[in-house]
Amino acid sequence: MAKLKFEHLNVPAKDPVNLAKWYAKTLDLKSKKHLVRGPGILIAFEEGEPINRAPELHIGFRVPSIKSLKKWAKKFDAKLSVGAEFTAFRTPDPEGNCLELYAANE
């Protein structure tokens, strides 16, 4: 079998263009129309009703260190949750989708 590589995620949004702009501004990514891009990241926001199934369904971003994660948590005014392998926090985006940022425990 061929190796698979995850390429993109389509997410329903009431306002795809503005949500893409929010992700770009908030997470230091690039947006063009309804698309958000960064290194290894492509999120396409498509017009539709947001799923809002947190915490089971969330968009996860791994950051390089706990130190970096603490800076992100401060930006979002979020509390860190320490797990067996990862430390993380979750926060909603403007349309209620669950966004998770996490780092491997050092």
Q: Is the pLDDT of residue 1 over 90?
A: no
Dihedral angle sign, alpha carbons of residues 4, 49, 37, 67: negative
Q: What is the pLDDT of residues 36-61, one digit of tens each?
A: 999 999 999 999 998 888 778 999 99
86 sits in which H/E element: strand 86-92
pTM of the model: 0.89
- Pairwise CA distance, residues 96 & 13, whole Å: 10
For 86-95, b/e burial (b = at least 16 CB within 10 A) is bbbbbbebeb
